[in-house]
Structure 1
Amino acid sequence: MGAPGRAVSPPGPPPPYAPSGRRPQNRRATWSQQFQASHGWSAGGAGTASAEANDATRFVRGTQAVRVTTNGTGKQSYVRRSGMTAMDLTGKTIRLLFRVDDVANLSRMVFYLGSGSFGNHFSWTFHVHSKTAANCVRSGEWVTVHLQWADVRSASGTYAISADGEPSTTTGFTDVSFAVHDDAAGPVTHRLRAVELVPDTSDVFPKGVVSLAFDDSHRSIHDPARPVMDSSGFPGTSYNIADAIGTGNFMTVEQMRSMQNFSGREVGGHAYANAAHTAGYPQLTAEQADEDFRRLRERLVPNGFTSEHFAYPHGAFRKTSDGVPVDLIASRHFTTARSIISETIESFAPADPYRLKSLTGITDGTGIGGTPLTRLTEDGGRLDRCAESGDRLILCLHRIVDGTPRTSTEIGTAGLTTLMREIADRDIPVVTVEEAMAHYE
């Protein structure tokens, strides 16, 4: 039987401040294709070299999965079925469970939902593989991905997406396809284990929900950002570097405690040592990473900061230098860990609480990279899609400046004020990461 891809054990005895175990519930599927015998789906496409519809060599549920190997041409390779009984996806999230044996030649992954033998369809490009940045898809792991209506970007045939991001229909679907493209430099073997429908976030938050995250302990999170946040009445989650607290341009313990006690700010972890934050945990050994996590909790908890939520430096959760997954080590110390992957937005419950997705580098500057604030606030932008589809959006910010932002990790007080106003105008609730997770304890 195929393993989930995290067989390597983290080092050391249980930490003194282990997480409480408040993991989110796995939402039960309202419809599920498990790819057992006689499942009726086919594998093919111009990019397919070989396929096995009933492959029993790798699986993580049941007794088999569908295996497809691409031919190295960059063309589409798929697992699909058409002409099914029409499905209603109103208020639903699509849950995929799949594996890529080796991601070295992976290019992108796309999901299609349609009718009329795909003459009409919506599509989600839910993963574009990076050679350098963090990826939610890694070699040999069974990966769970959630696709929501707020993520759909393309429509064809009679289907359309409105200016504010709303799909023209969410029902009547008879055709489903899971497609993979290699990079035309070599083949990729992928295995599809489940396609399911689960309730989306809208049954809890009809107008969607936002979590505001602030990384790195910068003093600007306290001033000038705190007055802007206080005037909006919005909470936030601050992810802190313990070694930096009280030094240079970083917050003091007293400022952090004041924000927690009087402004509803959650105080989470980002690293203990500045050096670990700068390098990133994948550059450390498993023992070094585990020690940094341990020291981080031992610094925060005695000071009254009991949040069990963490953000990876640089969003990196790859394996340590000696081969232990960083997110596995994080699970010894924290209830969730956040990345900066934003191909799809986050969901309730999250597909993986140790790979929470977020939109980062939000700035009102120009020509400095990052995520332009207008991408959130424009018609059909992220906030419209969040409100229209009732989904979850985690927004990550770093430094707040009084003047003009000069780097992609800065946003002006004017921009932050605009962001708060735009969220409020759409009547989107704002919750901390802990509050969000509490809905699914």
Structure 2
Amino acid sequence: MGILDAPGLAPRFADAKFAARRGRATARPLLSLLMNEASSGWAIAGSQAAINYTDSTAAYTTDAMFGDRCVRLKSNGTSAGNMNVTKVLGAPFDASSCNVRLFVKVLDTNWTQILVNVGTSSGANASVATISKDAAQTGTVVQVGRWVILDIPQSAFTYTIGTGAPWSAIQSIIVTATAAASVTEVRFHGVEFVHRDPRGVNANGAIVLTWDDSHVSQATVLEPALTARGLKATLMPIPGAHGTNASVFMTNAQVATLHDTHGWEVGAHCYSLSSHGLGLTGLTDQQLIDECEAIKAWQSGWGYDSTSHSYPLGVHDARVEGIISRYWQTSRIATNPLITCETVTPARLFTLQALNVNQSIANLSAAMNKAHTDKGLIILMGHQVMESGGDGNTINLAKLNQILDAMVASGCDLGLTMQEFIARMAL
């Protein structure tokens, strides 16, 4: 059933600082500027008048993502402000075909923003990407106490200094952690420039539709709307709920029709409603393994061969990722702090970012256009689609049609399931 380790064994990543980090999907970096060596050339900017971070060090040897050190930025809590670590290259680097990859660990919830600034040697012309903190710290990309990797497409660099960065001649990099008026600590392992589409498999960008929780409206309202446009989706079901309430959940027969007749992928989410309500981090190792085995048995019984998973409620941690990685090739979360595309060579296969269809049409359209420009991936996540009305996790048919129109206008490749897109990654 695609299991890499026998059930019952200790999770491969249970005690890891990070989990399922790269895999063969990741492109090798064209330029690696890591901070785990004494001669890395990264320097901490002097403390600003508004904030004191003299406890920071460019050679923090107590912690490291790998190697023996990292850069530690730590404020003393006197006031809010920016803490900076900088590097100037000896010669300009052509990053025209690259995304920026950031290695980071936050130690508390006091940080407010992380900024990556790339520009000329003088810094007079630069572009800046801003990663803002999500209030929920369990379902996000940046989680307290974990080393994580963020891939930042060029289109996420939306703030400019001067005329903006000439991507063909990057020479200075500044990484900033914005501290609150309380002690704030953030650690960095480095920055890489990674080829955005090294195999040339995603020249137009792509959009994948995913739908969670087996809502009956996905069969009665959503499917006809997609089929009319020649589109399909990936279902992330709750098999244990099938047939329990015809007004809320699909039956197994309805799911089979989506798969057999309309070409939908039937992925993995959670088997039971009770476990879904807890989120996978609320389960013990054995309970989580039992859930995965139940989903795999159900998929096998109905002939669904899917490599895709999504986290109930979006919550995840290194332990959960380690177990999920035994059963599926990727997993999707429920947030995207940059409101931009996931990359075709994602740094973290088990934390793929998604955009909720409840985002504004303006946000969704902008993200789709960025995916086309950056040769990236937009994973759209939805729940219910109603003929009219809609709130919370529900949208109406009019909003759905606006989204579908925006998808067509973006120029991205459409009609792919998650599994079909994953095949582009050459895992």
Report TM bin, short chain.
Answer: 0.7 to 0.9
Match status 1:359 vs 2:347: no
| Superposition TM-score, scaled by structure 2 size | 0.86
Aligned counterpart for 1:340 among listed residues 323, 334, 342 = 334
Farther-moved stretch of structure 1 (281-290 vs 239-248)? 281-290
Structure-2 change in CA distance of 1:290 and 1:106 (3 Å): farther
Farther-moved stretch of structure 1 (289-298 vs 238-247)? 289-298
The 5-angstrom pairing of residues 355-434 of structure 1 reads: 355-360=351-356, 362-363=357-358, 371-377=359-365, 381-405=366-390, 407-430=391-414, 431-434=416-419
Contact 2:138-2:316 at 8 Å conserved across structures: no
Equivalent position of 2:314 in the other structure: 315
Farther-moved stretch of structure 1 (410-419 vs 350-359)? 410-419
Contact 1:208-1:428 at 8 Å conserved across structures: yes
Looking at structure 1, the residues matched to 231 and 380 of structure 2 have their Cα atoms a distance apart, in angstroms, of: 13
Describe the SS at the equivalent of 1:375. Answer: helix
Equivalent position of 1:12 in the other structure: 8
RMSD (Å) for aligned C-alpha atoms = 2.5
Match status 1:267 vs 2:266: yes
Equivalent position of 1:27 in the other structure: 27
Aligned counterpart for 1:60 among listed residues 61, 65, 83 = 65
Contact 2:334-2:354 at 8 Å conserved across structures: yes
Farther-moved stretch of structure 1 (413-422 vs 298-307)? 413-422
Equivalent position of 1:296 in the other structure: 295
* Aligned-residue offset at 1:197: 1.0
Looking at structure 2, the residues matched to 329 and 402 of structure 1 have their Cα atoms a distance apart, in angstroms, of: 39
Describe the SS at the equivalent of 1:180. Answer: strand
Equivalent position of 1:349 in the other structure: 345
Looking at structure 2, the residues matched to 350 and 316 of structure 1 have their Cα atoms a distance apart, in angstroms, of: 19
* Aligned-residue offset at 1:179: 0.9
Contact 1:237-1:266 at 8 Å conserved across structures: yes
Looking at structure 1, the residues matched to 258 and 166 of structure 2 have their Cα atoms a distance apart, in angstroms, of: 44
Contact 2:94-2:167 at 8 Å conserved across structures: yes
* Aligned-residue offset at 1:133: 5.5
| Superposition TM-score, scaled by structure 1 size | 0.84
Match status 1:90 vs 2:96: yes
Letter in 2 for 1:54: A
Deviations 1:304-354 (A, max 9, x none): 112121111111114xxxxx7322222232221111121133112212111
* Aligned-residue offset at 1:127: 4.0
Structure-2 change in CA distance of 1:382 and 1:187 (3 Å): closer
Match status 1:135 vs 2:140: yes
Equivalent position of 2:38 in the other structure: 37
Equivalent position of 1:229 in the other structure: 226
* Aligned-residue offset at 1:183: 2.3
Contact 2:81-2:178 at 8 Å conserved across structures: yes
Describe the SS at the equivalent of 2:413. Answer: coil
Looking at structure 2, the residues matched to 150 and 223 of structure 1 have their Cα atoms a distance apart, in angstroms, of: 37
Looking at structure 2, the residues matched to 348 and 107 of structure 1 have their Cα atoms a distance apart, in angstroms, of: 28
Q: Percent identity?
A: 23
Describe the SS at the equivalent of 1:302. Answer: helix
Structure-2 change in CA distance of 1:14 and 1:32 (3 Å): closer
Looking at structure 2, the residues matched to 139 and 10 of structure 1 have their Cα atoms a distance apart, in angstroms, of: 30
Looking at structure 2, the residues matched to 282 and 298 of structure 1 have their Cα atoms a distance apart, in angstroms, of: 22
Equivalent position of 2:110 in the other structure: 105
Contact 2:137-2:143 at 8 Å conserved across structures: no
Match status 1:80 vs 2:80: no
Looking at structure 1, the residues matched to 205 and 73 of structure 2 have their Cα atoms a distance apart, in angstroms, of: 36
The 5-angstrom pairing of residues 112-191 of structure 1 reads: 112-115=117-120, 117-131=122-136, 134-159=139-164, 169-188=166-185, 190-191=186-187
Letter in 2 for 1:398: H
* Aligned-residue offset at 1:270: 1.4
* Aligned-residue offset at 1:355: 0.9
Looking at structure 2, the residues matched to 11 and 183 of structure 1 have their Cα atoms a distance apart, in angstroms, of: 44
Contact 2:98-2:193 at 8 Å conserved across structures: yes
Describe the SS at the equivalent of 1:155. Answer: strand
Q: Could you list the runs of 5+ residues in structure 1 that have no partner in the other structure?
A: 1-8, 16-21, 160-167, 319-323, 364-370
| Matched residues, number | 400
Looking at structure 2, the residues matched to 253 and 125 of structure 1 have their Cα atoms a distance apart, in angstroms, of: 44
Describe the SS at the equivalent of 1:256. Answer: helix
* Aligned-residue offset at 1:236: 1.3
Letter in 2 for 1:339: I
Q: Could you list the runs of 5+ residues in structure 2 that have no partner in the other structure?
A: 12-21
Deviations 1:393-426 (A, max 9, x none): 1110111111122x12122222222322221233
